Amino acid sequence: MKESMIRGADIVVQSLIAEQAEIIFGYPGGAIMPVYDALYDYHEQIKHVLTRHEQGAIHAAQGYARVSGKVGVCLATSGPGATNLITGLADAQIDSTPLVCITGQVAAHLLGTDAFQETDVVGISMPGTKWNIQVRRVEDIAPAIAKGFYIARSGRPGPVLIDITKNAQVDFGEMNYTPCLGFRSYKVHLPVEKTSIQKAAELINQSERPYVLYGQGVVLGKAETELKFFLDKTGIPAASTLLGSGALSQDHPCFVGKLGMHGNYAPNILTNQCDVLIAVGMRFDDRVTGDLKRYAKQAKVIHLELDPSEINKNVKADVPVLGDCKESLSMLTEAVEKKSHPDWLAKFRELEELEKEAVMQHDISPTKTGLTMGEVINQINQYKADDAVLVTDVGQHQMIAWRYFNYKKPHTQITSGGLGTMGFALPAALGAQLYDYSRQVICVLGDGGIQMTIQELGTIMQTKAPVKIVLLNNNYLGMVRQWQQMFFDKRYSFTELDNPDFIKIAEAYGIKAQRIKSREGLTEAIEDMLIYDGSYFLEVMVEKEDNVFPMIATGCSVEEVRLS
Amino acid sequence: MKRYTIFVITENFIGILNRITIIFTRRGINIDALTASESRVDGIHRITIEVTTSEEMVIQLVNQIEKVIDVIKAFYHEDEGVVYQEIALYKIPVTRLDGGLEKIIRQHNAKIIAAEPQFVVLELTGHKEQTQELLEILKGYGLLEFARSGRVAVAKRMVTIDDFIK
């Protein structure tokens, strides 16, 4: 054996360092122990955070990736360690989050024999990863990690899983790391075609009622400035998807609100009145479009998109503009005429007034005694930093927080969009906070979701991550209850929760905690929380049976959005 | 609903076939036939998949197949756009071999490729309709076993693998 040879486990860690990974979220176990042993030697070069469950590790890696724009890294053992990553992988896949997850695997000679903690994680994770691979030989470790990082972060980002057998971790091999710069079967994206830009520009120039819908693609493509310049020049009203929020400051004069099932009134209704629809980095999710047969049929559709398989998937594009939207947006800005659309924009503002009267008044300045989720978020807006990150779970609180949070900067919206994973918020907030201790990270969640990953309070305690946790407690699985009320004759089947004393739980983890039951003291509590130096747990008891509106019920058209 | 042949040019990696077939599973599309083989270029495989579906669906399938990291290229053709063959083997008991059967073999251009003391094996290459026709006839001759391959096909379009791996 040559002296320059090192163990496979060292190659794993050195490869991660070579990819400039700063932090690993993980949980040890038998089949990954050699890598954990190696980590002991590298603690000055790379940080490891021990979560309390592998699902916590992967959601934390997602939170880290979403706030930083970097690849999140996650480490787990074979068998149950690996299967506990699956929800996070599926979540990252549908929300295009770059991750590299490394799992240990039983030794190669035991594969297929039902060995202890053996599971076919490559098979199980295949549909939920952008790419995955099993590495059985030490010499294949570094190339697999290099390729994994390249695939995770390039093109449309996504999660990668690398399963490494134990023998490969303990065998000795050479470490000469070569970053992956591409390979023949993988086209990152197509170059933007000038002809498609010209066609799009013609449509936009002739349009009287153009309308921009922007999604997370703008953030992933780092095209926020290009979007702003495009809107500055064209004056086109622009609405955001759930994950697109933050790509454009809500203070921008063209910003008209949010799209979809619980988005704003005007942006939904007017989708069916525009003459040209310009979709940027969004995929026409069913929660955005409602009934596709009655979605924007009157409009010519221009679709700026990186992923060719998204073109015509849900909505037929008259002018598809394939490629990186950072490039295509600036080319399009060049090609279009300077314009403004005051009358068309005024239509949005008119309808916004209706929503203010019918919904926002109740949500933000309620006259009833019970606290609403909306007024909590509205109070947070008054005191939060401009670049405060909002991390939410899934359900009523998620929709309300999204509706009322004032997004000003990119990478401030972290939520489980496509998959709708309850339990996402607490670990994701931890991951986001660990990227930058000085950034305000506000984790808003419900009493259902928090209990799915509540064990991560332990990781928050151990890392001293100063996450601000806002629990909006209505003692219900609120969104399901709302549907039961509206569509299932108020048959509240298994949605009411008998909850523990959350304050005692938070305090048991050494986290400063406070409970608010009435309007007096809310403002002060939020102010206290946001200036507090350290993690903080604020429980707000909210109205038990409040509903989220506007709403486009399943199967309805965007123009059938209800205010009550 | 129409019959389409999907061609997939891939790297020769473990699990690639699985990655492709789950795309059909997700959409609930039945694969009528599938063949996989090495191409004329080292390390590159070609998979030929036959499906009966709408053109809209076949476009979505092809787009999603092409998105698989180790897939180099995926495309589809209708029957008119491809030259294809299938091979069928028929196992018949020797006791039924007579003048009538000999005539049938000749008429269908089938071949006897194996003769054992108890049985003979016939081979017929052609389109499914042809191999099916012979199958129906041979059922009357005590057919013991029948096996038919998936479609092997080449596109009429003048492109080659080299165009995709440039």
Query: Which residues of chain B does A134 touch, with a Cβ-Cβ cutoff of 8 Å?
Result: 14
pLDDT of residue B158: 86
Structure tokens at B164: 């995709």
Q: How many CB pairs under 8 A join A and B?
A: 37
Q: Determine the Cα–Cα distance for residues A174 and A278; give it in Å rounded to an integer.
A: 51
Amino acid code (one letter) for A538 = L
Q: Determine the Cα–Cα distance for residues B146 and B94; give it in Å rounded to an integer.
A: 15
Chain A residue with minimum CA distance to B23: A127
Q: pLDDT tens for residues A292-303? A: 999 999 999 999
pLDDT of residue B159: 80
Banded pLDDT at A247 (limits 50, 70, 90): very high
The strands making up A131-135's β-sheet, listed across from edge to edge, are A47-50, A23-26, A72-76, A99-105, A159-165, A131-135
Q: Determine the Cα–Cα distance for residues A542 and A213; give it in Å rounded to an integer.
A: 33
pLDDT of residue A2: 84
Chain A residue with minimum CA distance to B61: A309
Residue among B98, B140, B137, B93 at smallest CA distance from B117: B93
Q: Determine the Cα–Cα distance for residues A85 and A348; give it in Å rounded to an integer.
A: 43
* Sequential DSSP letters for A314-357: SS--SEEEES-HHHHHHHHHHHSPP---HHHHHHHHHHHHHHII
Banded pLDDT at B161 (limits 50, 70, 90): confident
pLDDT of residue A1: 76
Q: Determine the Cα–Cα distance for residues B41 and A330; give it in Å rounded to an integer.
A: 41
CB A184 within 8 A of CB B72: yes
Query: Which residues of chain B does A105 touch, with a Cβ-Cβ cutoff of 8 Å?
Result: none
CA distances from A234 to A318, A332, A346 (A): 20, 10, 15
User: With an 8 Å Cβ cutoff, is A308 touching chain B?
Assistant: yes
Structure tokens at A265: 């009134």
3-class secondary structure, A174: coil
Does residue A107 have a pLDDT over 90?
Answer: yes
Interface contact flag, A130 B19, Cβ < 8 Å: no
Query: Residue A527 catalytic?
Result: no
Residue among A396, A336, A431 at smallest CA distance from A551: A396
Chain B residue with minimum CA distance to A316: B56
Interface contact flag, A309 B69, Cβ < 8 Å: no
Phi, psi of B146 (to 5 degrees): -145, 135
Query: Residue A116 catalytic?
Result: yes
Does residue B165 have a pLDDT over 80?
Answer: no
Of chain A residues 169-208, which have a CB less than 8 A from chain B? 184-186
Banded pLDDT at A22 (limits 50, 70, 90): very high
3-class secondary structure, A460: helix
CB-CB: which of B22, B69, B71 is closest to A127?
A: B22
Count Cβ atoms within 10 A of the Cβ of residue A535 and give its class: 0-12 exposed, 13-18 middle, 19 or more buried.
Answer: buried
User: Across residues A386-402, what is the average pLDDT?
Assistant: 98
Tracing tokens 């009429």 back to the chain, one arrives at: B156
User: With an 8 Å Cβ cutoff, is A131 touching chain B?
Assistant: yes
Q: Determine the Cα–Cα distance for residues A474 and A30; give it in Å rounded to an integer.
A: 41
Banded pLDDT at B164 (limits 50, 70, 90): confident
In the DSSP assignment, the letter for residue B50 is E
Q: Determine the Cα–Cα distance for residues A160 and A151; give it in Å rounded to an integer.
A: 7
- Quick one: residue A551, left, alpha or beta (phi over 0 = left, psi -120 to 50 = alpha)? beta
Q: Determine the Cα–Cα distance for residues B60 and B8; give it in Å rounded to an integer.
A: 14
Q: pLDDT tens for residues A208-244? A: 999 999 999 999 999 999 999 999 999 999 999 999 9
CB B7 within 8 A of CB B155: yes
Structure tokens at A363: 């949500």
Query: Which residues of chain A does B72 touch, with a Cβ-Cβ cutoff of 8 Å?
Result: 184-185
In the DSSP assignment, the letter for residue A360 is I
Chain B residue with minimum CA distance to A183: B70
CB A189 within 8 A of CB A324: yes
Paired with B122 in beta bridges are B90, B112
- Note the helical H segments in A392-548: 396-404, 425-435, 457-463, 478-487, 502-508, 522-531
Interface contact flag, B63 A122, Cβ < 8 Å: no
CB A453 within 8 A of CB A482: no
Query: Residue A54 catalytic?
Result: yes
Among A15-19, A189-193, A320-324, whose mean pLDDT is lowest?
A: A189-193
User: Across residues A160-177, what is the average pLDDT?
Assistant: 97
Query: What's the gap in Å between the CA of A419 and the closest CA on chain B?
Result: 16
Disruptive mutation site among B9, B69, B164 for chain A (greatest number of A CBs within 10 Å): B69
pLDDT of residue A189: 85
pLDDT of residue B97: 82
* Percent of the residues in chain A that have a pLDDT greater than 90, as a whole number: 98
Banded pLDDT at A366 (limits 50, 70, 90): confident
Banded pLDDT at A190 (limits 50, 70, 90): confident
Strands (DSSP E) contained in A333-474 are 389-392, 413-414, 441-446, 468-473
Structure tokens at B16: 């690639």
pLDDT of residue B163: 82
Q: What is the ipTM of this complex?
A: 0.89
Q: pLDDT tens for residues A43-97? A: 999 999 999 999 999 999 999 999 999 999 999 999 999 999 999 999 999 999 9
Query: Which residues of chain A does B59 touch, with a Cβ-Cβ cutoff of 8 Å?
Result: 312
Query: Which residues of chain A does B14 touch, with a Cβ-Cβ cutoff of 8 Å?
Result: 134
CB-CB: which of A123, A127, A309 is closest to B67?
A: A309
Q: pLDDT tens for residues B24-57? A: 999 999 999 999 999 999 999 999 999 999 999 9
* Sequential DSSP letters for A242-253: TTTTTSS-TTST
Query: What element of type H or E holds A50?
Result: strand A47-50
A271 or A369: which leads in pLDDT? A271
pLDDT of residue A289: 97
Single out the catalytic residue among A22, A117, A229, A273: A117
Q: Determine the Cα–Cα distance for residues A361 and A543; give it in Å rounded to an integer.
A: 15
Query: Residue A560 catalytic?
Result: no
In the DSSP assignment, the letter for residue B159 is -
The Cβ of residue A387 has, within 10 Å, a number of other Cβ atoms equal to 14
Q: pLDDT tens for residues A112-146? A: 999 999 999 999 999 999 999 999 999 999 999 99
In the DSSP assignment, the letter for residue A46 is S
Tracing tokens 């009493």 back to the chain, one arrives at: A447
CA distances from A120 to A126, A132, A160 (A): 10, 12, 15
Query: Residue A183 catalytic?
Result: no
CB A201 within 8 A of CB A302: no
Query: What's the gap in Å between the CA of B117 and the closest CA on chain A?
Result: 41
Query: Which residues of chain A does B63 touch, with a Cβ-Cβ cutoff of 8 Å?
Result: 308-309, 311, 313
Angle between helix A478-487 and helix A396-404 axes, rounded to 10 deg: 100
Single out the catalytic residue among A130, A147, A166, A384: A166
